[in-house]
């Protein structure tokens, strides 16, 4: 069979979103040096109220969203979290609580399960109190996480651990995997720090070396094989050391959307770093209209926006051109070829920068939260 001509695969069809990330609040008790929330945070009085969130969940379900990720900041900082979980169940949305564990008690978690919570994703900053509390900047955080993990599995709620890995903890991956198995987690997400926002300020302290990244990838592959049927491992590699970009978001505006605390709707977590994009707000527009018609969602959909060498690249239907926010940050142009790609003129420069950062050993700059 002949391979289809590039023109015939160029029509990327996109459907309704599968998942929505509801960033309920920017408030958070931790001060992780790789915080992925924007540099400018929304204050408590700028957050959507309960009624508006519930209505957005209804609209999301009607639009075709299947999974609702309740995130933040720390979603447990919202006193109405219980009502929001109930709303997910009412609209038959699969609810996933993405939490640091701080702010949860056994009683509260039991209540959330009774309201219909489907899944808990618990963040892990390290494999012992010393490392975890150093990175999270919150004394006693690790101990509370262990409690939350125990309550979660005791309630027969599925548990995923999410470990952000970086120069300082990536070598301890085998311990993280052991810990996940011991805690009874079904899934482990190993995500290398994405260098956007606050993490970019800590590049020298957090960038893993090429050798560290390679070893981590090998260890993940081995553990997946050994732990088949015991633990599922999802892995986000260190793309600064890669030759091809990640398929960011599975393609811009193709599978998921983010609603941030003040109600603006974005195609990805870091899209606000692209200055020319205008994000519409659920307080003013229907969610479906934003998804299908807004300029921000259509900006990098499909393949038409691509420059060369992406447009004629045979990998474009595999990685969708990579990460627009990374193109913005490094190339100064969100439509440029992702600088991670070996075909980008900036590839060598990006790799040199990554290597220099990996060899450097900067101090951690914590994200100390202002009173929100």
Partner 1 sequence: MIEAECPRLLSGCRTKYDSVRGNWVLLAPERAIKLDEIGAAILAETDGERSLGGILDALAAKYNAPREQIAGDVVKFLTSLRDRRMLEVT
**Footprint on this chain of partner 1 (rule: CB under 8 A):** 15-16, 18-19, 62-64, 66-67, 92, 94, 96, 118-119, 121, 156-158, 160, 186-187, 189, 228-232, 234
For residues 170 and 180, which CB has a smaller minimum distance to partner 1 in the complex? 180
Q: ∠ CA(30), CA(35), CA(40), 5° rounding?
A: 100
Please report how the helices 106-114 and 141-154 are oriented relative to each other, as an axis angle in degrees rounded to 10.
Answer: 40
For residues 41 and 109, which CB has a smaller minimum distance to partner 1 in the complex? 109
Whole-Å CA distances, 41 to 23, 220, 274, 359: 12, 34, 16, 31
For residues 204 and 227, which CB has a smaller minimum distance to partner 1 in the complex? 227
- Smallest separation (angstroms) from partner 1 to the CB of 181: 12
For residues 230 and 356, which CB has a smaller minimum distance to partner 1 in the complex? 230
Q: ∠ CA(262), CA(264), CA(269), 5° rounding?
A: 100
- Smallest separation (angstroms) from partner 1 to the CB of 16: 6
For residues 41 and 220, which CB has a smaller minimum distance to partner 1 in the complex? 220
For residues 51 and 234, which CB has a smaller minimum distance to partner 1 in the complex? 234
Beta partners for residue 119, in sequence order: 96
- Smallest separation (angstroms) from partner 1 to the CB of 357: 30
- Smallest separation (angstroms) from partner 1 to the CB of 185: 9
Q: ∠ CA(97), CA(103), CA(108), 5° rounding?
A: 70
- Smallest separation (angstroms) from partner 1 to the CB of 68: 11
For residues 62 and 128, which CB has a smaller minimum distance to partner 1 in the complex? 62
- Smallest separation (angstroms) from partner 1 to the CB of 72: 17
What the block records as the tokens of 209 is 């070396």
- Smallest separation (angstroms) from partner 1 to the CB of 326: 23
For residues 94 and 305, which CB has a smaller minimum distance to partner 1 in the complex? 94
- Smallest separation (angstroms) from partner 1 to the CB of 186: 4
For residues 228 and 371, which CB has a smaller minimum distance to partner 1 in the complex? 228
| Cα 64 off chain centre by | 21
- Smallest separation (angstroms) from partner 1 to the CB of 71: 12
Whole-Å CA distances, 233 to 119, 160, 316: 16, 10, 26
Whole-Å CA distances, 108 to 79, 101, 113: 11, 11, 9
């Amino acid at each position: 069979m002949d391979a289809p001509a590039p023109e015939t695969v160029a029509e990327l069809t996109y459907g309704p979103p599968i998942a929505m990330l509801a960033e309920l609040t920017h408030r958070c008790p931790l001060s992780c040096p790789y915080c992925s929330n924007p540099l400018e945070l929304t204050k408590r009085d700028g957050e959507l109220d309960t009624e508006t969130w519930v209505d957005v969940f209804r609209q999301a379900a009607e639009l075709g969203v299947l999974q609702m990720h309740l995130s933040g900041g720390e979603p447990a900082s919202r006193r109405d979290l219980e009502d929001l979980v109930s709303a997910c169940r009412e609209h038959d949305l699969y609810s996933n609580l993405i939490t640091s564990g701080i702010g949860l008690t056994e009683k509260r978690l039991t209540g959330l399960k009774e309201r219909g919570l489907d899944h808990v994703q618990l963040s892990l900053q390290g494999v012992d109190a010393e490392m975890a509390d150093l990175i999270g900047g919150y004394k006693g955080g690790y101990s509370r996480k262990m409690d939350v993990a125990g309550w979660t599995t005791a309630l027969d709620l599925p548990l995923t651990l999410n470990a952000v890995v970086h120069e300082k903890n990536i070598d301890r991956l085998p311990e993280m995997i052991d810990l996940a198995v011991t805690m009874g987690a079904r899934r482990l997400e190993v995500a290398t720090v994405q260098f956007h926002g606050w993490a970019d300020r800590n590049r020298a302290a957090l960038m893993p070396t090429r050798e560290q990244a390679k070893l981590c990838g090998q260890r993940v592959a081995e553990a997946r094989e050994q732990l088949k049927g015991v633990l599922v491992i999802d892995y986000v590699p260190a793309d600064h050391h890669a030759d091809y970009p990640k398929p960011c978001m599975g393609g811009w505006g193709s599978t998921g959307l983010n609603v941030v605390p003040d109600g603006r709707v974005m195609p990805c977590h870091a899209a606000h770093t692209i200055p020319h994009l205008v994000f519409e707000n659920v307080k003013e527009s229907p969610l479906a209209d934003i998804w299908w018609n807004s300029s921000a969602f259509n900006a990098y959909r499909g393949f038409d926006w691509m420059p060369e060498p992406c447009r004629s690249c045979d990998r474009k239907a595999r990685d969708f051109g990579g990460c627009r926010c990374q193109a913005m940050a490094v190339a100064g142009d969100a439509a440029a070829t992702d600088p991670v790609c070996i075909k980008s003129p900036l590839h060598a420069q990006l790799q040199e920068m990554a290597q220099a950062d990996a060899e450097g050993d900067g101090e951690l700059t914590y994200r100390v939260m202002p009173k929100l």
